């Protein structure tokens, strides 16, 4: 019941998480179609996707100002812009135009992402209970549902644009549920604290590790199953599917666990679990063992990112919360720049087994980061 209660309390930002998740799930399932209509090679398509990452990171710097200007309608404006932005990529055939359209998508998605995470952090402070995992779990559920719906539309031969438009209509119908009054917090009289640089850097590094690990497994798990372990294409597709399913389960479970365990031991335990999963996947001798490794990794890594974002909201003064979450998200989402490149270099030089062992080491770096974060007082 604690999960349902958490979603009831945070139902407005949770709706925004659903909107973001369903669009990205739709895109992920349409990637083969979009890539084919662009006529792009793997390398070129990967480069073009940096357009969305560039827009995403750029929006993080604009989000605090937009948060102040838009107020209660912040999530509504972000969701409407996202619905509009997704009408472009599915009908573009020129690579450069596609990259620019994905930049617009990243800008809108990043704006909504920062505002909805800030709203959850505000509700956590107001109700004095963790809510971040439940909301991120709704993203994972919506992502999976969006991808499964597209599986049906692709079988029916529907092109991307009308399907994106259909999801956009759903987003517009949900706009009334995303209006949320904002309590503006000013600095306490006599506040002389320094800018919270180190909490932002430390929590940002925790989120960075989580997103890099997640992005790496999403992109390379199928190839590991097929190329390293000799699995079929269908068996390879189960790798990222297993990660997505266990991440949704892990975030819902993490919400219940976070009610009873403080953030610091929880994030340390999650890093150890996820690193164990990466080792199992790296050393697997059959696809089934690799699935177990990806599943364990997904269970652990699923809670690390949400906890990192929740922590920075608690380690800074209330009037700096939105800005701190925005800066932390900048650091975290930069993982989408680094992960594909680093994993490709490691795989090329040492093979995918060693590359996944490197992911395990990366996940273990969360332990000293959590210890460092624990030294800062909670507001």
- Check which CATH number belongs to the domain holding 227 and give it: 1.20.1250.20
> Whole-prediction pTM value?
0.77
Domain-embedded: residue 101:
yes
- Indicate whether 207 belongs to any domain: yes
**Rounded Cα–Cα distance for residues 298 and 214 (Å):** 8
Please indicate, yes or no, whether residues 161 and 202 belong to a single structural domain of this protein: no
- 188 vs 124: CA distance, rounded Å: 20
Is residue 142 located within the same domain as residue 218? no
User: What pLDDT, in 10s, does the model give residues 301-357?
Assistant: 888 988 888 888 778 777 777 778 777 877 887 776 666 667 667 777 787 788 889
Looking at the structure, tell me whether residues 120 and 220 fall in a common domain. no
Tens digit of each residue's pLDDT (9 = 90 or more) over 341-367: 676 677 777 877 888 899 899 999 999
Residue 151 lies in a domain: yes
Stated as kind and residue range, the H or E segment containing 193 is none
φ, ψ of residue 190 in degrees (nearest 5): 85, 10
37 and 177 part of one domain: yes
Residues 50 and 13 in one domain: yes
Question: Do 205 and 88 share a structural domain?
Answer: no
Q: How far apart are CA 278 and CA 361, in angstroms?
A: 9
Close Cβ partners of 264 (under 8 Å, ≥ 6 residues apart): 370, 371, 373, 374
Q: What is the pLDDT of residues 54-82, one digit of tens each?
A: 787 777 677 777 777 888 888 999 999 99
Please check whether residues 129 and 211 belong to one and the same domain.
Answer: no
Regarding whether 245 and 148 lie in a shared domain, the answer is: no
Q: How far apart are CA 52 and CA 88, in angstroms?
A: 13
Q: Give the number of domains in the chain.
A: 2
Are 61 and 170 contained in the same domain? yes
User: Could you give the angle at which helices 287-315 and 321-333 cross, rounded to 10 degrees?
Assistant: 150
Return the minimum-mean-pLDDT range out of 9-18, 59-68, 234-243.
234-243
Flag whether 256 is in a domain.
Answer: yes
Query: Residue 251: inside a domain, yes or no?
Result: yes
How far is it, in rounded angstroms, from Cα 293 to Cα 284?
8
Distance of CA 254 to the CA centre of its chain: 15
Number of H helices, E strands in the chain: 16, 0
Domain annotation covers residue 2: no
Torsion, Cα 376 374 120 334, to 10 degrees, reads 90
- Claim to verify: residue 75 and residue 206 sit in the same structural domain: no
The range of the structural domain enclosing residue 151 comes to 8-184
């Amino acid at each position: 019941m604690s999960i349902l209660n958490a979603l009831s309390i945070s139902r407005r930002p949770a709706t925004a998480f659903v909107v973001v998740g369903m669009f990205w799930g739709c895109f992920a399932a349409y990637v083969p179609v979009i890539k084919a209509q662009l006529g792009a090679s793997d390398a070129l398509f990967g480069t073009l996707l940096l357009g969305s990452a560039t827009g995403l990171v750029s929006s993080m710097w604009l989000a605090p100002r937009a948060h102040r200007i838009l107020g209660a309608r912040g999530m509504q404006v972000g969701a409407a812009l996202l619905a509009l932005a997704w009408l472009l990529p599915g009908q573009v055939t020129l690579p450069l135009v596609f990259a620019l359209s994905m930049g617009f998508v990243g800008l809108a998605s990043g704006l909504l992402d920062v505002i909805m995470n800030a709203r959850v952090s505000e509700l956590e402070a107001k109700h004095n209970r963790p809510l971040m995992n439940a909301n991120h779990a709704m993203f994972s559920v919506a992502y999976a549902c969006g991808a499964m719906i597209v599986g049906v539309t692709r079988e029916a031969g529907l092109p991307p644009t009308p399907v994106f438009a259909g999801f956009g209509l759903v987003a517009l119908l949900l706009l009334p549920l995303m209006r949320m009054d904002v309590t503006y917090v000013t600095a306490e009289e006599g506040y002389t604290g320094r800018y919270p640089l180190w909490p932002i850097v430390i929590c940002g590094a925790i989120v960075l590790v989580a997103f890099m690990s997640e992005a790496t497994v999403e992109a390379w798990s199928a190839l590991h199953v097929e190329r390293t372990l000799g699995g079929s294409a269908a068996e390879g597709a189960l790798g990222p599917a297993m990660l997505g399913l266990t991440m949704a389960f892990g975030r819902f479970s993490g919400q219940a666990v976070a009610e009873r365990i403080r953030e610091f031991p929880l994030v340390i335990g999650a890093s150890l679990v996820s690193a164990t999963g990466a080792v199992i996947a790296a050393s697997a001798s059959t696809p089934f063992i690799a699935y177990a490794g990806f599943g364990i990794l997904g269970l652990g890594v699923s809670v690390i990112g949400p906890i990192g974002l929740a922590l920075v909201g608690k380690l800074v003064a209330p009037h700096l919360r939105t800005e701190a979450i925005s800066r932390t998200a900048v650091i975290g989402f930069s993982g989408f720049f680094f992960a594909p490149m680093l994993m490709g270099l490691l795989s090329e030089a040492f093979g995918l087994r060693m590359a996944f062992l490197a992911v395990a080491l990366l996940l273990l770096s969360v332990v000293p980061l959590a210890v460092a974060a624990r030294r800062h007082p909670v507001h």
